[in-house]
Structure 1
């Protein structure tokens, strides 16, 4: 059952709108999985041994993602495009495979880490020994560092090396010694990462919608601390793959800063239609089918959600 949920979570990550060719999974010899189109043309050969029962019940479901993940037994998770071309290997760690965060996923190449976007394009080359998730518009990296398992084998710390920060374009960020913007991010060394987001008039109006409802949303989230704040930032914009603006919440409780988990934190990610007129809060709903279960994203109009809470 755990494997079924894991697979469906993987598939859900890359669910977008239908493409020209309709793609489907198929099984050969009871243990080999592949992908073919609606005409029977093989897109990805059935050469990756997996437990067939995992797919029982979803083989007729169309693959709508522009990225196709395959968990290869010997080699781990691989990412392919809809033409069957290998793209990259997602970063794997003790909790599983990497998720998209603010539109970016970490990938591994020659034992180095970089970032790819939702189109499968490697936007930041793999040149770091370690990088954090993209969060609040930037990421922390290190080179020459390593995982120290001597004190905690399950949760090793990262030690040594040279550390720094880069933005979403891979440009080095130089921390400042003082805060120059109210939303500059304060590091553990009490330096400041310059605020990374820039918005046009329409985007500012979208965020203003949430700012006007901030007090109500904070109450719903039950942020209990002396000094509390909630930021709303646009982390993804409408594209051919996605018709919505995606707004992520960042909670500041006293000095603790936490961005919402885009895949698991219910009602902490918002979506807005491309015309900026329809506002939704999102959550994941577990839907049970006859032979499998899957997580499906649901949307509720923001004002309706606030009224109910």
Structure 2
């Protein structure tokens, strides 16, 4: 199955997946020119030649080569890291990639923003990522998801700059670590962005009443995690629930009604959910949008 993000696409050349011999997957343009030659994939049930690729970079999962990203010219960019743990998805506009046994973070344009220099780096969350060097997966107990142990740990911001923790809280949204240090709040907003977040703050109690809480901290934040660009005509607003003093962000691919989009002019506000569209030959997950105030009105008293 395929999660398709419907993005604004300004280039004229259209790209499509194509299938050969039921197990080979590749990419062609609208004229039939091969952009990425077909190779053996795990399954082709999620693809057909009517699926247009509208993102600046795209993923092909090959059985013998891994989960690989390419640009629209067919150039190989990078391999995603730790796909088995679900880290091959984008988080706050960034994705983990692997190079020479090390991990880093790249953005939606395929630019390697944080170089592959870590033995482990987490997906981006609340504007920062945690890393370690010298650590390893402890598989001694043969657990399905073994823990990372040892090594030197730290935090980096979305530009790859080392974050210096503080001994006291300097902002209400500074995050307290297990060592009782504080990670400085990472977000800064202009006037338009502040107005966007004020819209959600005004409706926070209504949103909480509809969605409820999963954590006993019972605190909810809204942050703008992506801004409009050539391939994305919306601000992306993500909700974060505080869990044991740590921000647990809504999953951008699976948590219905906990992520939002706002038009670039700041006038239209939407809540998102994922819809499964069934076809005879394949199934496709598509993103749906509902105006926030309409959604609140329809669900507040249920």
For the criterion TM > 0.5, the same-fold answer is: yes
Greater relative contact order, per chain length (Cα 8 Å cut-off, separation 6+):
2
The corresponding residue for 1:75 is: 65
2:183 and 2:246 map into 1 onto residues whose CA distance is 15
CA apart distance, 1:222: 1.4
Q: What SS does the aligned partner of 1:54 have?
A: coil
CA apart distance, 1:135: 0.4
CA apart distance, 1:63: 2.2
CA apart distance, 1:30: 4.8
Greater mean alpha carbon deviation, residues 218-227 or residues 275-284: 218-227
Deviation digits for residues 103-136 of structure 1, max 9, x if unmatched?
Answer: 0000000000001000011111000000111000
CA apart distance, 1:31: 4.0
Relative to structure 1, the CA distance from residue 261 to residue 17 in structure 2 (aligned partners, 3 Å threshold; closer, same or farther) is same
Structure 1 residue runs of 5 or longer lacking an equivalent are none
Q: What SS does the aligned partner of 2:208 have?
A: helix
The 5 Å alignment of 1:1-309 reads 5=1, 8-9=2-3, 12=4, 15-18=6-9, 19-46=11-38, 48-50=39-41, 54=45, 58-96=48-86, 98-223=88-213, 227-252=217-242, 255=245, 257-309=247-299
Q: What SS does the aligned partner of 1:173 have?
A: coil
CA apart distance, 1:195: 0.4
Deviation digits for residues 234-292 of structure 1, max 9, x if unmatched?
Answer: 00000110010000111125645311111111111011000001111000011111221
Relative to structure 1, the CA distance from residue 290 to residue 215 in structure 2 (aligned partners, 3 Å threshold; closer, same or farther) is same
- Asked if structure 1 preserves the Cα contact closer than 8 Å seen for 2:24 and 2:44, the reply is no
Q: What SS does the aligned partner of 2:53 have?
A: coil
CA apart distance, 1:53: 5.2
Relative to structure 1, the CA distance from residue 40 to residue 257 in structure 2 (aligned partners, 3 Å threshold; closer, same or farther) is closer
Computed over aligned residues only, the root mean square deviation of the Cα atoms, in angstroms, reads 1.8
Give the alignment's TM-score, normalised by structure 1.
0.91
Q: What SS does the aligned partner of 2:52 have?
A: coil
2:75 and 2:271 map into 1 onto residues whose CA distance is 35
Q: Name the count of aligned residue pairs.
A: 298
